[in-house]
Amino acid sequence: MRELRFNRARIFAIVVVLFFVTDSVSAQKVLTKYAPRGFDSLRTDIPHGKLDSINYPSKTVGTNRRTLIYTPPGFSKKKKYPVLYLLHGIGGDEKEWLNGGKPQIILDNLYAEGKLEPMIVVMPNGRAMKDDRAIGNIFDSAKVQAFATFEKDLLNDLIPFIEKNYPTLTDREHRAIAGLSMGGGQSLNFGLCNLDKFAWIGGFSSAPNTKRPEELVPDPEDTKKKLKLLWISCGDNDPLIRMSQRTHDYLYEKAVPHIYYIEPGGHDFKVWKNGLYMFSQFLFKPVDVSAFPQYSVLGAPASTNVRSARYPQILPDNRVIFRIKAPDAQKVQVDLVKKYEMQRDTGGYWIVTTEPVSEGFHYYSLLIDGVAIADPASETFYGMGRMASGIEIPTPTGGYYAIKDVPHGDTRLKRYFSSVNGNWKRLFVYTPPGYDKSTTEKYPVLYILHGGGEDERGWATQGRTDLILDNLIAEKKAKPMLVVMVDGNMGTGGLSGFGENVLRLFENELKQAVIPFVEKEFRVQSDASNRALAGLSLGGLQTLYAGIKNTNLFSYLGVFSSGWFANRPELSKSTYDFMQTNAAKINTDLKSLWIAMGGPEDIAYNNCKVMLAKFDEMKIKYEYTEYPGGHTWPVWRNNLYNFAQLLFK
Cα-based distances in Å from 292 to 9, 261, 282: 24, 9, 11
Long-range contacts of 152-157 (CB under 8 A, 24+ apart): 152/60, 152/128, 153/58, 153/60, 153/61, 153/65, 153/128, 154/85, 154/124, 154/190, 155/190, 155/194, 155/197, 156/59, 156/60, 157/56, 157/57, 157/58, 157/59, 157/60, 157/61, 157/65
CA distance 202 to 186: 10
Helix, strand, coil shares, percent, the chain, to 5: 35, 25, 40
Is the predicted pLDDT of residue 20 greater than 70, yes or no?
Answer: no
Grouping H, G, I as helix, E, B as strand and the rest as coil, residue 498 is coil
CA distance 548 to 557: 8
> Rounded to 5 degrees, what are φ and ψ at 281?
-70, -20
Long-range contacts of 7-10 (CB under 8 A, 24+ apart): 7/347, 7/349, 8/264, 9/264, 10/345, 10/346, 10/347, 10/349
Is the predicted pLDDT of residue 94 greater than 50, yes or no?
Answer: yes
CA distance 255 to 462: 25
More confident: 501 or 238: 238
Cα-based distances in Å from 407 to 3, 483, 524, 604, 644: 47, 17, 20, 36, 18
Tens of pLDDT, residues 297-341: 899 999 999 998 999 999 999 999 999 999 999 999 999 989 999
What's the confidence (pLDDT) of residue 634? 95
* Whole-model pTM over 0.85: no
> Rounded to 5 degrees, what are φ and ψ at 431?
-110, 140
CA distance 499 to 436: 41
**DSSP output for 395-455:** -TTGGGGS--SS---EEEEEEEEETTTTEEEEEEEEE-TTTTT-SS--B-EEEEE--TT--
Report the half-sphere exposure of 177 (CA within 13 A, side-chain side): 28
Is the predicted pLDDT of residue 554 greater than 60, yes or no?
Answer: yes
CA 74 to chain centre: 45
Contact yes or no for 169/82 (Cβ under 8 A): yes
Encode 477-512: b = buried (16+ Cβ within 10 Å), e = exposed. ebbbbbbbbbbbbbeeeeeeebeeebbeebbbbbee
What's the confidence (pLDDT) of residue 497? 63
Contacts of 647 (CB under 8 A, 6+ apart): 444, 446, 478, 479, 481, 532, 556, 592
Residue ranges of E strands in 241-282: 259-263
CA distance 594 to 249: 33
CA distance 175 to 171: 7
What's the confidence (pLDDT) of residue 32? 84
pLDDT grade for 397, boundaries at 50, 70 and 90? confident
Contact yes or no for 192/139 (Cβ under 8 A): no
In one-letter notation, the amino acid at residue 252 is: Y
Is the predicted pLDDT of residue 109 greater than 90, yes or no?
Answer: yes
How many Å is the maximal CA-CA distance in the chain? 93
Sheet holding 313-314, edge to edge: 300-301, 313-314, 320-325, 349-353, 343-344
What's the confidence (pLDDT) of residue 434? 95
Is the predicted pLDDT of residue 7 greater than 90, yes or no?
Answer: no
Tens of pLDDT, residues 81-93: 999 999 999 999 9
May I ask the CATH architecture of the domain 410-644? Answer: 3-Layer(aba) Sandwich (3.40)
Encode 104-135: b = buried (16+ Cβ within 10 Å), e = exposed. bbbbbbbbeeeebbbbbbbbbbbbbbeebebe
pLDDT grade for 570, boundaries at 50, 70 and 90? confident
Sign of the Cα torsion 450, 454, 460, 465 reads negative
Per the prediction, the chain carries an average pLDDT of: 93
Angle (nearest 5°) at CA 231 between 227 and 232: 130
Residue ranges of E strands in 308-420: 313-314, 320-325, 332-336, 338-341, 343-344, 349-353, 360-368, 371-373, 380-383, 386-393, 410-418
Tens of pLDDT, residues 229-241: 999 999 999 999 9
Is the predicted pLDDT of residue 28 greater than 50, yes or no?
Answer: no
What's the confidence (pLDDT) of residue 496? 55
Radius of gyration for the alpha carbons in the chain, expressed in angstroms and rounded: 30
- Out of 3.40.50.2300, 3.40.50.880, 3.40.50.1820, 3.40.50.1010, the CATH code matching 38-294 is 3.40.50.1820
What's the confidence (pLDDT) of residue 30? 65
What's the confidence (pLDDT) of residue 5? 38
Fold match flag (38-294 vs 314-393): no
CA 68 to chain centre: 39
CA distance 395 to 370: 32
**DSSP output for 71-124:** E-TT--TTS-B-EEEEE--TT--TTHHHHHH-HHHHHHHHHHTT-S---EEEEE
Q: Percent of the chain having pLDDT more than 90?
A: 88
May I ask the CATH architecture of the domain 314-393? Answer: Sandwich (2.60)
Nearest CA to 169 out of 49, 82, 87, 284 is that of: 82
What's the confidence (pLDDT) of residue 243? 96
What's the confidence (pLDDT) of residue 13? 42
What's the confidence (pLDDT) of residue 261? 96
SS3 readout for 577-616: HHHHHCHHHHHHHCCEEEEEECCCCCCCHHHHHHHHHHHH
Domain boundaries, the chain: 38-294, 314-393, 410-644
Is the predicted pLDDT of residue 439 greater than 50, yes or no?
Answer: yes
pLDDT grade for 573, boundaries at 50, 70 and 90? confident
The mean pLDDT of 501-508, rounded to a whole number, is 93
**Ranked by mean pLDDT, which of 19-23, 83-87, 422-426 comes out on top?**
83-87
Is the predicted pLDDT of residue 25 greater than 70, yes or no?
Answer: no
pLDDT grade for 354, boundaries at 50, 70 and 90? very high
Nearest CA to 283 out of 467, 86, 505 is that of: 86
CA distance 622 to 583: 12
The mean pLDDT of 393-402, rounded to a whole number, is 91
Measured from the Cβ of residue 281, the count of other Cβ atoms closer than 10 Å reads 14
CA distance 348 to 329: 9
pLDDT grade for 16, boundaries at 50, 70 and 90? very low
Among 4-13, 41-50, 175-184, 205-214, name the one with the lowest average pLDDT.
4-13
Cis check for the bond before 433: say yes or no (omega within 30 of 0). no
Is the predicted pLDDT of residue 10 greater than 60, yes or no?
Answer: no
